[in-house]
Chains A and B, each alone.
Chain A
């Protein structure tokens, strides 16, 4: 393969990463933006989504699309319920104190990870994609399912944007984000909004996980790297900026795909890329699309 086709392949792989990363980072950004909580357990919600997706899809016989569709419905609900419970039982009682919530979500991370290891095991297990036609490009064939992942993420992101910008629920969320006390005074049930946002953030991670399981398998440690990457995406994109999150996810996903496909020494490339992103942050701390902190 020549350089051009290789670059195209690398970009397509990067787009798949970017698609799931954008969904996951959006969940993290929502939770941090509205509640000021740094959710270290976000990667475990992602992992939990993938594990539940495996469990659900293997429970259904017949065409893989049936099991996958069921997983797409069940996994976010289960993960959302876990997040909702964690919010009501723990985070609420901490009054969303930034440092205490970090420790609490690290505790949650340990618990979820250990339960996954105990009940699911240490193996990586695949899920059948619901459809997978081979799309023949002039230079190579490409997985149709991966293109489907990119499209699905695009639709979901548009949906989240619509909810945030055009519906009453979105307005309530934005009001809470802007000034929780004033929102409370105007009769917005801030506590319930927080619980809902925390569950919604976890559900976005779970959806991203269900989409990614058919291409990368479910494993109990799979949450760690996406968590770090989504932190980077959230910060680079600028907090609370949907557009920034998507652009940053594209940037990180594409550079990740291109670096790991084209360069000779992935470790050196990773060192340089990490350093570069860190320096971008050092000289533009508010992120690419963020406004200066209030």
Chain B
């Protein structure tokens, strides 16, 4: 890739982040609140996209990494009174550790077996959150008190339940992960993953340790999803086993495929699109799931590579 194209890509992403910063001041309160949520969930989608889009591994169990972050951060904060930064790090570490173990086992399988094995491990995590009801309160979940969700920097205290700081924190996390992903997928490691997606056998014959590369991808993906889970729990103050259910494993798949797999900005577009379709449809009719289903079918029929993937294919070939 030559220098100008590379500069153009970085400029596009920085401009995108700048637009989101501006949106934080311009958006009405309701939409800013919705967008705080979308930005955090887009981090989840970006973590998922690294595996599905760039490495070609379809997992049906990513809710377990989100949940590892959610509980890894929420439980110490709630029961042990840890501070916000320590809880966040604990959540991310829990996700990374889980991803390493699950990846080492599940990557022995390929294709549909990989989907099913990841789904089953996720089901085990979900059932575990139900089993330890004494600490997790199962489906009902824990509400993290706003008093515990404060970070102090010297004299200033940042409250995570305040909408403005919530948007700022969500956007900061999103920007860090977005730029890290952009850097990652354009690095030799990212090219290796794409090579594995296209033809794993050939990569192995070329001398690449494909298992190791895939395991690294699973761990990085798990770390990003856990960061999203930890941030979600800390920012919105709720930890419940619903976030570990199969439904939450399917959602990032939808967001990524709708937005465009193997595009850096697709996960955010997909998440925002689905959020607003559901929001709009549930305002129109109580039978809103029909509209959501129809929207999904419409998108796959007319934007087969996802929104941004199709844009890239037809018009902007230089998009990353």
Interface on A for B, CB 8 Å cutoff? 32, 38, 40, 90, 93-94, 97, 99-100, 102-104, 106-111, 113-115, 117-118, 224, 228, 231-232, 235, 239, 265, 267-268, 270-271, 274-275, 277-279, 281-283, 285-287, 293
Contact = CB atoms under 8 A, between A and B. Distances in A.
Chain A interface mostly helix, strand, loop or mixed? Answer: helix
A239 B116 CA distance: 13
B294 interface: yes
User: Which of under 10, 10 to 19, 20 to 34, or 35 or more describes the interface residues of B?
Assistant: 35 or more
A103 B290 contact: no
Contacts of B296: 103-104, 106-107, 110
A108 B58 CA distance: 20
Chain B interface mostly helix, strand, loop or mixed? Answer: helix
B128 interface: yes
B289 interface: yes
A268 B131 contact: yes
Contacts of B121: 275, 278
B124 A274 contact: yes
B250 interface: yes
Nearest to B286: A118
A224 B288 CA distance: 19
A138 to B, nearest CB: 37
A164 to B, nearest CB: 20
Contact of A274 (B109, B123, B300, B304): B123
Interface stretch (B14-22, B166-174, B177-185, B252-260): B252-260
Contacts of B300: 94, 100, 103-104, 107
A282 B253 contact: no
Contact of A278 (B111, B124, B261, B299): B124
B314 interface: no
Given A106-B250, A118-B287, A282-B105, A232 B116 contact: yes
Contacts of B258: 103
A111 B110 contact: no
A169 to B, nearest CB: 25
A115 B115 CA distance: 28
By CB atoms of chain B within 10 A, which of A99, A103, A231, A274 has the most? A103
B127 A270 contact: yes
A32 B112 contact: yes
A265 B119 CA distance: 22
B128 A271 contact: yes
By CB atoms of chain B within 10 A, which of A93, A99, A107 has the most? A107
Given A118-B290, A285-B109, 16 more contacts: A102-B253, A103-B296, A103-B299, A104-B301, A106-B254, A110-B290, A110-B296, A114-B289, A235-B116, A270-B127, A275-B124, A278-B117, A281-B109, A282-B108, A282-B117, A283-B108
Interface in B247-305: 250, 253-254, 257-258, 261, 286-290, 292-297, 299-301, 304
